Amino acid sequence: MQNQEEINRLKNIAQDLLNEAKKQGASAAEAALSVDDGLSVTARLGDVETIEYHCGQGLGVTVYFGQRKGSASSTDLSPESIHETVLAACSIARFASEDAYAGLPDKATLATQFPDLDLYHPWTLDATQALAIAIECEQAAREYHPDITNSEGATLSSHQGIRVFGNSLDFIQGYASTRHSLSCSVLGQRGDSMQRDYWYSVARNAAHLESASDIGRKAGERIIKRLDARRISTRQCPVLYSPDVAGGLIGAFLGAISGGNLYRKTSFLLDSLGQAVFPDFIRIHEQPLLKNALGSSAYDAEGVTTQTRDIVSQGIVQGYVLGSYSARKLGLQTTGNAGGVHNLEISSGSDDFAALLKRMDTGLLVTELMGQGVNSVTGDYSRGASGFWVERGEIQYPVEEITIAGNLKDMFKNIVAVGNDMDLRGNIRCGSILLEQMSIAGE
């Protein structure tokens, strides 16, 4: 992709969409366009499983006739398609019910500064090179231990794309980005015990990925540690969430303070602004302008400026997660979170993972969660889990087929520590989380 030329081309198409919407009688409109391409390969048992080349494009337009809204989309960027897509959106809007809260964001909230966030790092490799990396990754996993008996394969993906967004408030911007990943999943068996586990790495820049052999070894190491898992008896005990599952706790909190759940009154954290939800050492910080990070952007899905801010400070909720529509419904201002949060980081203490195990002394280390047992209205939490039993600060043996339960309000308050072993592979950047006590349902 010749980035700037392609960005300018898509900006011109976005302007054509907005002009067409005005021509067809819309009082306001917004348009989003994307083009992307990529390569994904999977190797299994040392051989080619799949090779996929991806190339796509699309446009979406939303029009407003006063407080009536209509949307339509297409994968065809031609002038004829622009006319037909806008016509479809306008037809929907004319028959839609009025919504007093519908409309574009306030112009004063739109982004005006667009720093280079270093999001574009294309990886020039062909299918043969990609397969060689995937095979190396899987081989490292399969060779880790004789008890690794089968494989679901190793997958390498490399994608690049351009996104452009514009609206009738004279906002039109776009940027290019890349995303690369390498993963490996293997199976192990020892006697009657069978387990599956995996590891992966993801980054904007392929140079920042973990090496193929390291990813494979970690997948192999994880599976061997899980073999001969046991069930434990029902009890209450401390629980330590490993970094790759701890982010789910913070995700549940974000859902509870997000606009849709708040204005529908389907959240267990209604009216929590200014309230202490976590212990006073917890800080949850949003950083949309981090260079090279997976969740970085100068503006949200509506073109509103993203904010570097504390969502939680000293355990107290400082702000909700709102787009323009939900903000209007709540009588508040948008927080620049239409489309989600950007690089949310949970500040950690000085303890690493080993120190948290020592601090817990005796309890359950959770490394995998199953099911969707979170009630957003009441905060009740119940998930299938597996992991390891810990005594005297040392892992003793793997456990499986248990359920951990509690209420998220209590769980948040009962956080004892957050580790400095931060997982940076997603939009929620979080270390291990130690909870004082949870209910464990086992034998």
Q: Domain check: are 263 and 401 in the same one?
A: yes
Residue range 135-164: average pLDDT? 97
Q: Which domain holds residue 151?
A: 3-226
pLDDT tens-place string over residues 71-112: 999 999 999 999 999 999 999 999 999 999 999 999 999 999
Position 371 scores a pLDDT of 85
Residue 204 sits in the same domain as residue 265: no
For residues 359 and 434, the answer to whether their CB atoms sit within 8 Å is yes
Torsion from C-alpha of 177, 248, 305, 118, nearest 10 degrees: -30
Residues 286 and 219 occupy one common structural domain? no
Burial 348-364 (b: 16+ CB within 10 A, else e): bbebeeebbbebbeebb
Place of tokens 């903000």: 327
Phi then psi for residue 382, to 5 deg, are: -150, 115
Q: Do 367 and 402 contact (CB within 8 A), yes or no?
A: no
Residues in the chain: 443
pTM for the whole structure? 0.93
For the stretch 382-436, pLDDT in tens is: 999 999 999 999 999 999 999 999 999 999 999 999 999 999 999 999 999 999 9
Going by pLDDT thresholds of 50, 70 and 90, the confidence category of residue 443 is confident
Q: Are 236 and 363 in contact (CB under 8 A)?
A: no
Same domain, 269 and 239: yes
298 and 335 in a common domain: yes
- How does residue 55 score in pLDDT terms, banded at 50, 70 and 90? very high
Structural domains of the chain, count: 2
Query: How crowded is residue 316: how many other Cβ atoms within 10 Å of its Cβ?
Result: 17
Q: In this predicted model, what pLDDT tens digit does every residue of 10-45 receive, in sequence order?
A: 999 999 999 999 999 999 999 999 999 999 999 999
Same domain, residue pair 148 and 286: no
* Domain stop point among 204, 226, 248: 226
- Residues 217 and 332 both lie in one domain: no
Q: What is the pLDDT of residue 1?
A: 45
Give Cα 183 to chain centroid, integer Å: 17
Q: How confident is the model at residue 48 (pLDDT cuts 50, 70, 90)?
A: very high
With pLDDT > 70 as the criterion, what percentage of the chain qualifies? Answer: 100
- 324 is written with which tokens? 């323009």
What residue has token string 């622009």?
Answer: 82
Q: 253: closest CA among 262, 244, 243? A: 262
Max CA distance (Å), the chain: 73
What is the pLDDT averaged over residues 265-289? 97
Tell me: pLDDT of 184 over 70: yes
Residue 332 contacts residue 207 (beta carbons within 8 Å): no
d(CA 78, CA 131): 36
**pLDDT, average across residues 148-156:** 97
Instruction: Indicate whether 251 and 108 sit together in one domain.
Output: no
Same domain, residue pair 218 and 137? yes
Rounded Cα distance, 325 and 19, in Å: 24
φ/ψ of residue 418, rounded to 5: -120, 125
Residues 254, 330 within the same domain:
yes
Q: DSSP E strands: which ranges in 293-393?
A: 309-313, 316-317, 344-346, 363-370, 380-391
The pLDDT of 320-330, averaged and rounded, is: 97
Task: Please identify, among 205, 226, 247, the residue that sits at the C-terminal boundary of a domain.
Answer: 226
Residues 167 and 44 in one domain: yes
Torsion sign across C-alpha atoms 84, 86, 89, 95: negative
Q: pLDDT over 90 for what percent of the chain?
A: 97
CATH number, domain at 16? 3.30.2290.10
> Cα 51 vs. chain centroid, distance in angstroms?
25
**Predicted pLDDT of residue 222:** 96
208, 226, 244: which is the final residue of a domain? 226
Same domain, yes or no: 67 and 106: yes
For the stretch 354-379, pLDDT in tens is: 999 999 999 999 999 998 889 999 99
